[in-house]
Amino acid sequence: MNAHGALAVFRFELRRTLTPSRIAVWLMLVLFPVFIVSVLKYYEDDWSQRLRPRSARRAARIQISESTRRGAVDERRAGRDRVTLVGAAAVKVEQPKRRVDAGARGAGEEDRLDLPPGLVGQLWAAVFFGLIPEVITLFGLLLWVPTLVHAELEGRTWIYLAVRPRGRVSVLLGKYLTAITWTMLAGWTSATVCAAIARPDHVLRLWATMMALVTLASLCYGALYALFGVALHRRAMVIAVGYTLVFEFLVSFIPAVINKLTVQYRLRNLLFTWMDWWELVPKEAGDIFLGTEPAWLHLLVLGAGVVGVLWLATQVVQLREYATISDT
Amino acid sequence: MIELRNVTKLYGTVIGVNDITLTLEPGAYGLVGPNGSGKTTLLNLMTGQLRPTMGTVRVLGESPWKRDQLLRMIGLCPSVDVLYSNVTALDWVQYLVELYGFSRYEARERAERSLREVGMAPFMQRPMGTYSLGMRQRTKLAQAFAHDPQLLILDEPFNGLDPIGRHEMTEVLRGWIRGGRSLILASHILHEVEAISPRFLLIRGGRVLASGPPEEIHALLADIPNEIRIRCDQAALLAREFMGSGLAESVRLVDDGAALVVATRSPAAVFEQLPIWLERLQVRVDEVRSAEDSLHRLFTSLMRRHRGELT
**Interface predicted TM-score (ipTM) of this complex, two decimals:** 0.75
Q: Please indicate, yes or no, if residue A93 is contained in any of the structural domains.
A: yes
Domain assignment present for A111: no
pLDDT at A7: 92
Confidence at residue B288, expressed as pLDDT on a 0 to 100 scale? 80
In this prediction, residue A313 has a pLDDT band, given cuts at 50, 70 and 90, of: very high
Integer-rounded Cα Rg, in Å, for chain B is 23
List the single residue in A15, A156, A322 with the smallest CB-CB distance to B80.
A156
Task: For residue A155, list chain B residues with Cβ-Cβ distance below 8 A.
Answer: 83-84
Q: Can you tell me the mean pLDDT for A129-135?
A: 90
Query: What CATH number is given to the structural domain containing B259?
Result: 3.30.70.100
Does B166 lie in the same domain as B296? Answer: no
Domain that holds residue B125: 86-138
Instruction: Quote the CA–CA distance of B130 and B82 in Å, as a whole number.
Output: 12
Do residues A33 and A143 share a domain?
yes
B204 and B67 share a domain?
Answer: yes
pLDDT in tens, B186-229: 887 776 777 787 788 888 888 888 777 777 766 666 666 677 88
Question: What residue numbers bound the domain in which A60 lies?
Answer: 50-104
pLDDT digits (tens, 9 = 90+) for B90-141: 999 999 999 998 999 999 999 999 999 888 889 999 999 898 888 888 899 9
- Cross-strand pairs, B75: B152
Instruction: Count the domains in chain A.
Output: 2
Nearest residue to A116 (alpha-carbon basis) of A97, A135, A103, A131: A97
| Claim to verify: residue B65 and residue B153 sit in the same structural domain | yes
pLDDT(A111) > 60: no
Mean pLDDT over B70-99 rounds to 89
- pLDDT value at position B293? 57
Say which residue, A241 or A89, is predicted with more confidence.
A241
A178 CB neighbour count, 10 Å cutoff:
22
Residue B264 and residue B232 in one domain: yes
Same domain, B134 and B153: no
User: Is the residue at A24 inside a domain?
Assistant: yes
**Better pLDDT: A74 or A208:** A208
In a domain, A163, yes or no: yes
A64 and A204 belong to one structural domain? no
Give the pLDDT mean for A224-244.
Answer: 92
Angle between helices A167-198 and A119-129 (to 10 degrees): 150
For the cut 50, the answer to whether the pLDDT of residue A82 exceeds it is: no
Structure confidence at residue A74 (pLDDT) = 46
Question: Is B144 within the bounds of a domain?
Answer: no
Q: What is the pLDDT of residue A310?
A: 95
Residues of A near B (CB-CB distance < 8 A)? Answer: 4-5, 8-9, 11-12, 15-16, 19, 155-157, 159-167, 170, 318-319, 321-325, 327-328
Min distance B162 CA to chain A CA atoms (Å): 23
Are residues B98 and B62 part of one domain?
no
DSSP state of B158: T
A10 with A135, same domain? yes
Q: Is residue A325 part of a domain?
A: no
Instruction: Over range A5-34, report the average pLDDT.
Output: 92
Domain identity same for B6 and B42:
yes
At B145-173, the pLDDT tens digits run 999 998 999 988 887 777 777 788 888 88
Residue A26 falls within a domain, yes or no?
yes
How many domains does chain B divide into?
Answer: 3
- Do A150 and A75 lie in a common domain? no
Confirm whether A110 is domain-assigned.
no
* CB spacing of A161 vs B96 below 8 angstroms: yes
Neighbours of A323 (CB within 10 A): 14
Average pLDDT over chain B reads 84
CB crowding A3-28: b at 16 or more within 10 Å, else e? ebbbbbbbbbbeebbeeeeeeebbee
Separation in Å, CA B214 to CA A22, A139, B20, B154, B221: 52, 59, 21, 19, 10
A8 and A75 fall within a common domain: no
Question: In the predicted model, what is the mean pLDDT of chain A?
Answer: 79
Evaluate whether A218 touches A180 at the Cβ level (below 8 Å).
yes
In a domain, A287, yes or no: yes
* Residues 21-50 in B contacting A (C-alpha not used; CB under 8 Å): 35-36, 38-41, 44, 47-50
Tell me, yes or no, whether B284 lies in a domain: yes
Residue B268 in any domain: the answer is yes
